Structure 1
């Protein structure tokens, strides 16, 4: 039984006209793109999945009143937008550590972790990127889930955020967005203009799909990190590279400080094993410390043949299951069988 059918079982939703299984399949076909939309709106993979599930349940329950006045996809986006706008009422915006304070020094105490609701969180590509036949559309989709872009979106008022995503990322027309929001075309265009002005400083060229050189860079990074070879790691980092570690506010800028951190407070990462992933349209890794302890989801940014950002998210209890990773790795050195041990 589908997730939708499970959630509405017993509440009368299945009594709507038509075949319940067919309707559930039609709704489920839109889950990935709706999750991507809600993730951009909310900045949290967990909130996005909750919002999409609420969208699906509302659609299931009210399908008899839909009457096909618009496409099913447009109708679902209207419901998802309303769910997100409701969730954003009164909430503080999520951010990255570098959005909140100046860079720290290596000697700065780590301090206490801040609540999960403070941070933009990572998301697996497969949860939010629907298949796109057009390579250009796929590139736009990857860029629009980049952590820096999602963080910038959070600076916009919620309705401006929806307008910009629908117009710039999903390529909806102004009239389509106006209909969805119950607004006018002029109001939509005005909101888009204001949103573009706010985000202008955050625009960046689209990153191409990983080529051989980038793959080689990542292979060298894994080798240097797992051997804990700081000289090799230094050679891979851009001089202005950053290191961040939510839920902690502390973050570092500059390869010298990053390497000093790794040799000091970060020494516990020696002996780690990295499992390749993709997150936020970027290469990523699940990091297990020596002994198989899950430690972080690393999201890597690269440019010009160097690593420009190491973004480590330490909420392993929630994030490792999200990325399909086991809660223990038997051989962090990468030797032996390499078979994961399922978490309890």
Structure 2
């Protein structure tokens, strides 16, 4: 059934038709809410509330793009939440002296990139959920965030964006210009993207180095100015020397096993600590790696990330594959 017929059936009270009508846009809408809010759980709540509002407001939708209509509802719901809540942060982005009691932490994104017609399209989609991009977005005002995402990520025209936000084309263009300028200042300097083979080699060596407890091998894979953080802990470390000191002081006093994963379109690992008493590997967090060129530029270890969201176990005995 085409979209026109689904819409007509949904207006007649057919909930299944509404589900099919909106189902084609759910993944895109959820990713949009995540970019706006920096939280998987807030994004899921915002999407559910948006779909409820869409169902109740079917009678007010008369013509035009269903996709644009749904994004208008979701964007405005996100803007309401942004006005009420603290922005999401990563430790390295915290302002000096920021009261930690008021800090909300950015969450990793488990969503899979959908099938694409070209490798270039897949790379663009990954870029728009990468941690550095989503973290930088959180430093824009809500309206600037919305304008940039609707225009530069989702591809709506200035006129469509103005209609969605209830503003003017001039205001959209002005907000987009300011948002792009702020984003350019906050995002890491673009570097040569590594090949898939390089990513595979680096991540394999990184996991092997942790399994062996070899601090020199770990540090050798890092960029000279690499950063290492562990939200919700506010401390973070910059540079090979300081990261090496930290690893020797705390993490490498224990045994580790890493299981490969993906988060934010980036290579990641589920990290597990050995429990002597139970003789089990137990969940410790999710490490998300940013790779630039042939080195690891950043490691963000999300200590509270739920393993199930990333297809990983809470614990295990013999590591899978061994």
Question: Is the 1:282–1:301 contact (alpha carbons within 8 Å) kept by the matching residues of 2?
Answer: yes
Separation in 2, partners of 1:175, 1:285: 42
What residue number does 1:301 align with?
A: 290
Compared with structure 1, are the counterparts of its residues 275 and 131 closer, same or farther at alpha carbon in structure 2 (3 Å cutoff)? same
CA RMSD of aligned residues (A): 2.3
Note if 1:118 corresponds to 2:95.
no
Separation in 2, partners of 1:237, 1:208: 15
Question: Is the 1:115–1:247 contact (alpha carbons within 8 Å) kept by the matching residues of 2?
Answer: no
Q: CA deviation at 1:135?
A: 3.3
Aligned length, in residue pairs: 306
What residue number does 1:280 align with?
A: 264
The one of 103, 116, 120 equivalent to 1:132 is 116
Separation in 2, partners of 1:237, 1:263: 15
Per-residue CA deviation, residues 265-309 of structure 1 (Å, 9 max, x unaligned), is: 2235x3211111111121011111113210011000111211111
Q: CA deviation at 1:172?
A: 1.4
The one of 60, 66, 69 equivalent to 1:65 is 60
What residue number does 2:224 align with?
A: 239
Separation in 2, partners of 1:79, 1:302: 36
Unaligned segments of structure 2, at least 5 residues: 1-8, 275-279
Per-residue CA deviation, residues 165-205 of structure 1 (Å, 9 max, x unaligned), is: 11111221111101111111111101111111212213543
Per-residue CA deviation, residues 137-187 of structure 1 (Å, 9 max, x unaligned), is: 322221121212111111111011100111111221111101111111111
Note if 1:33 corresponds to 2:25.
no
Question: Is the 1:44–1:120 contact (alpha carbons within 8 Å) kept by the matching residues of 2?
Answer: yes
What residue number does 2:156 align with?
A: 172
Per-residue CA deviation, residues 4-29 of structure 1 (Å, 9 max, x unaligned), is: xxxxxxxxxx9951532232122122
Q: CA deviation at 1:134?
A: 4.1
Q: CA deviation at 1:246?
A: 0.2
Higher strand share: 2
What residue number does 2:311 align with?
A: 324
What residue number does 1:80 align with?
A: 74
Unaligned segments of structure 1, at least 5 residues: 1-13, 103-112, 339-344
Note if 1:262 corresponds to 2:240.
no
SS at match of 2:84: coil
What residue number does 2:167 align with?
A: 183
Question: Is the 2:194–2:293 contact (alpha carbons within 8 Å) kept by the matching residues of 1?
Answer: no
Question: Is the 1:245–1:251 contact (alpha carbons within 8 Å) kept by the matching residues of 2?
Answer: yes
Q: CA deviation at 1:47?
A: 0.6
4+ residue segments displaced more than 6 Å: none
**TM-score, normalization: structure 2?**
0.88
Separation in 2, partners of 1:21, 1:115: 44
Separation in 2, partners of 1:211, 1:231: 24
Per-residue CA deviation, residues 83-111 of structure 1 (Å, 9 max, x unaligned), is: 10111113221111111157xxxxxxxxx
